[in-house]
Amino acid sequence: MVDNLWDAAEATRRADAAGDDPADRALALHLYGSQLIGGNPALVQHGGGNTSCKVTRVDVFGVARTVLHVKGSGHDLASIGAGGMPGVWLDNLLKLRDLKKLSDEDMVNASRANMLDSSGPTPSVETLLHAFLPHAAVNHTHATAMLALANLPNAANVAADIFGNRIAVVPFAMPGFSLAKTAAEIYETNPQVEGLLLLQHGHFAFAPEAKAAYDLIITHTNMVEDWLAKTSGKKLRPAKTPRPEMQAKAADILPLLRGIIGNRHAAFAGNPDAPMPVMDLRCGDNVAEFLARPDLDDLATRGVATPDHVIRTKRTPLVLGTNVLAGGRDAISRAVDDFIGDYTAYFAQGAAMSTGAKTMLDPAPNLAWIEGVGVVGIGASAKTAAVAGDLAEQNIAAMSNGQDCGGFHPVEARLLFEMEYWSLEQAKLGRSIPPEFSGRVVMITGGAGAIGLATAQAFAALGADIFLIDRDGSALETARASLGPHHGALALDITEPDAATRATAACATRFGGLDILVSNAGAAWTGEMATLDDAALRQSFELNFFAHQSFAKSAASILESQGRGGQILFNISKQAVNPGRGFGAYGIPKAATMFLLRQLALELGPKGVRVNGVNADRIRSGLLDADFVTQRAKARGVDESTYMAGNLLGREVEARHVADAFVTLARSQRTTAHVMTVDGGNIEAALR
């Protein structure tokens, strides 16, 4: 059941913070209710749904007029503020209802022309529906339970059984002028209702004020959940803890699938270096139960629970059954090509029946149902893949509950095509140029350290999705959180025998694969070689050579599975080329790592995998902590600043400069077997 989270004290605090103006106080309460709705994935997903409130304000002529504050297109209810709820003069919107028809362009223009603030966001495509309903507070959701109900073949009869005359039913229509007029007419025939069920679309509830409208959303949704549970004998369930056996299979399958889809993306884009998609795996008990359904193949052809999903998931998923998986790369490739062929035919048919020219979107799948593995969202970044994954989980919940309660019959393909290629819907996706490293998955060892975190920040700032590895779990989580949402991490000791395999499997499970390994972790052992304990030297080799080798080997395996190249980057050290007294235990394995770099470049080059490194020196980090800097400066008879700037440029080299070097190498698409020096100038350590 969906909890009612309205807190009277918090509501009062928000209203009081808005001041004494009744309109501002009403808007503040409305925003509170909107955030409660938007923050609950059982009610709306990722910017879905919209809300509005009507208040009285005075125009520039001193006339009191009604203003409709409605969600701005592209804003998320979960975090919406007053700036995301543009005000529109209601009286002029109401005049539009007398028109027999109104184009989408004219509808948007009319909304913008009547905004109180012309610089605000464009009002929702469903603004007129909110305007034509007379209530002060109106909420629209795509609750999972409501979608199960709205797609039943006898939804109107079931709604009457559940609600009596409390809710009216509106037949499906594309959002916009026509739907707004139809909904208003149905409401006026049933003015006693407190909500509308939009068939194959969603739910509206309305009331004189914000709390009552929010309460109705919760009450109505729970009434439907109760009916579904009693009818099917099952309850709507959120995602559960991932199943380890499904994750293990995903680590093998997803990189293979990612590479295949990546090749199709590149062909469609006409760019052989186009990034591969990022993947988001869902493999809890709810997903495992759904994938075991005997009617899975049939359900895969039905469509989406609400047309709002289609721009992010496409109409149907790619389905990979156990028979396809058993056929390996060739069988999976054929399945992807079959999907692309089906989508191309769907586009051709839809475009032929539509007015105006249409340009086909990338026909590769945005969603996969993989038996024994899970439901996989596919997108240009971890964020967009997660959106597809969230919508997929909602869809399978609505789909399975609806099917078990009488049938699941969403909007037909022709109408879904119109929604998918509707200009106002496409506008939600935006058309900005993606960041340079969008779609690139970067794994960094020693990710919580100074150089590792700086490198992660540099790649993340350019759009990459980061997977951090470090031994210190607490520091690791702090580092991951500092990068923002959608990045991953795994705490482990990279010198353990299976550490590399576990790390790359976890990265593949989290993002679908890997593009760049930054093998960065290291530590210094000191002592004269003639007297150094053998155990200390072996420990240094485990961390400063063998860990690099094992991670490179494991990364190379994933890159080969993807078949799209990639890069391995090593943190070398000036000690590899310019030995320092007492640092043999550190420099010797680092020298071996530099030779490993060149050997791997030789062997992996034909597979499109570039192998490069950074030779850094005198960076404040775990290797060069405050005590060490103090000791070395004192030993040389200089202050700490002078010691740290002891290079040809006379300036300290920082972790961010090393990070810049890693990024530069990642950008250098025709460079391999190269070591870039970042030390401010040290002739003794210069590479020939």
Supply the Cα-derived Rg of the chain in whole angstroms. 29
The answer to whether 459 touches 434, Cβ cutoff 8 Å, is no
What predicted TM-score, i.e. pTM, was given to this entire model?
Answer: 0.92
Instruction: For the domain covering 441-617+653-677, report its CATH number.
Output: 3.40.50.720
Element (DSSP H or E) covering residue 221: helix 210-232
Cα gap 533→59, rounded to integer Å: 84
Edge-to-edge strand ranges of the sheet holding 516-519: 488-491, 465-470, 441-445, 516-519, 566-571, 609-616, 675-678
Quote the percentage of the chain above a pLDDT of 70. 98
Neighbours of 495 (CB within 10 A): 16
Beta-sheet strands, E only, within 174-220? 195-198, 202-207
Of the given ranges (101-105, 235-239, 647-651), which has the lowest mean pLDDT? 235-239
On the 0-12 / 13-18 / 19+ scale of CB atoms within 10 A, 212 is: middle
* Digit-coded pLDDT (tens) for 332-365: 999 999 999 999 999 999 999 888 888 999 999 9
Residue 159 has a pLDDT of 97
The answer to whether 289 touches 301, Cβ cutoff 8 Å, is no
Indicate if the pLDDT at residue 47 is higher than 80: no
Could you tell me which of 472, 511, 468, 510 has the C-alpha nearest to residue 490?
468
Reduce the DSSP state of residue 663 to 3 states and report it: helix
Residue 55 has a pLDDT of 97
User: Higher model confidence: residue 125 or residue 233?
Assistant: 125
Backbone φ, ψ for residue 141 (5° rounding): -130, 165
Asked: is 8-232 a CATH 1.10.10.10 domain? The reply is no
Strand partners of residue 466: 442
Amino acid at 407: G
The answer to whether 170 touches 192, Cβ cutoff 8 Å, is no
Q: How confident is the model at residue 1 (pLDDT cuts 50, 70, 90)?
A: confident
Structural tokens at position 53? 């409130």
Same CATH topology for 244-426 and 441-617+653-677: the answer is: no
Helix, strand, coil percentages, rounded to 5, for the chain: 50, 15, 35
Residue 526 has a pLDDT of 82
Q: How confident is the model at residue 656 (pLDDT cuts 50, 70, 90)?
A: very high
Indicate if the pLDDT at residue 623 is higher than 70: no
| Torsional class of 439: left (φ above 0), alpha (ψ -120 to 50), beta (otherwise) | left
Reduce the DSSP state of residue 645 to 3 states and report it: coil
Residue 236 has a pLDDT of 66
- Helices 499-511 and 547-562, interaxial angle, to 10°? 40
For the chain, the domains span 8-232, 244-426, 441-617+653-677
Amino acid at 72: G
Indicate if the pLDDT at residue 630 is higher than 80: no
Residue 523 has a pLDDT of 86
- Helices 655-667 and 450-461, interaxial angle, to 10°? 50
The answer to whether 46 touches 390, Cβ cutoff 8 Å, is yes
Beta-sheet strands, E only, within 572-643? 609-616
Cα gap 387→667, rounded to integer Å: 28
Of the given ranges (155-169, 421-435, 472-486, 562-576), which has the lowest mean pLDDT? 421-435
Could you tell me which of 540, 556, 662 has the C-alpha nearest to residue 593?
540
Could you tell me which of 380, 434, 392, 429 has the C-alpha nearest to residue 258?
380
Reduce the DSSP state of residue 575 to 3 states and report it: helix
Backbone φ, ψ for residue 497 (5° rounding): -55, -35
Rounded to the nearest integer, the mean pLDDT of the chain is: 93
Edge-to-edge strand ranges of the sheet holding 318-320: 278-282, 374-379, 367-370, 318-320
Indicate if the pLDDT at residue 420 is higher than 80: yes
Q: What is the DSSP string of 375-419?
A: EEEEESSHHHHHHHHHHHHHHHHHHHHHHHTT------HHHHHHH
Cα gap 531→519, rounded to integer Å: 30
| Torsional class of 353: left (φ above 0), alpha (ψ -120 to 50), beta (otherwise) | alpha
Residue 244 has a pLDDT of 95
Neighbours of 328 (CB within 10 A): 10
Backbone φ, ψ for residue 159 (5° rounding): -60, -40
* Digit-coded pLDDT (tens) for 452-464: 999 999 999 999 9
Cα gap 586→537, rounded to integer Å: 8
Residue 348 has a pLDDT of 95
Residue 431 has a pLDDT of 61
Could you tell me which of 501, 592, 577 has the C-alpha nearest to residue 543?
592
Neighbours of 471 (CB within 10 A): 18
The answer to whether 502 touches 495, Cβ cutoff 8 Å, is no
Cα gap 187→181, rounded to integer Å: 10
* Digit-coded pLDDT (tens) for 116-167: 999 999 999 999 999 999 999 999 999 999 999 999 999 999 999 999 999 9
Q: Which residues of 134-143 are buried (b: 16+ CB within 10 A; e: fewer)?
A: ebbbbbbbbb
Of the given ranges (59-63, 517-521, 620-624), which has the lowest mean pLDDT? 620-624
Asked: is 244-426 a CATH 3.40.225 domain? The reply is yes
What average pLDDT does this structure show over 386-405? 94
- Helices 210-232 and 382-404, interaxial angle, to 10°? 60
Structural tokens at position 55? 């208040």
Structural tokens at position 22? 């009744």
Quote the percentage of the chain above a pLDDT of 90. 81
Indicate if the pLDDT at residue 646 is higher than 90: no
Q: How many helices (H) and strands (E) does the chain have?
A: 27, 18
State how far the alpha carbon of 216 is from the alpha carbons of 77, 156, 426, 538, in Å.
Answer: 17, 19, 31, 68
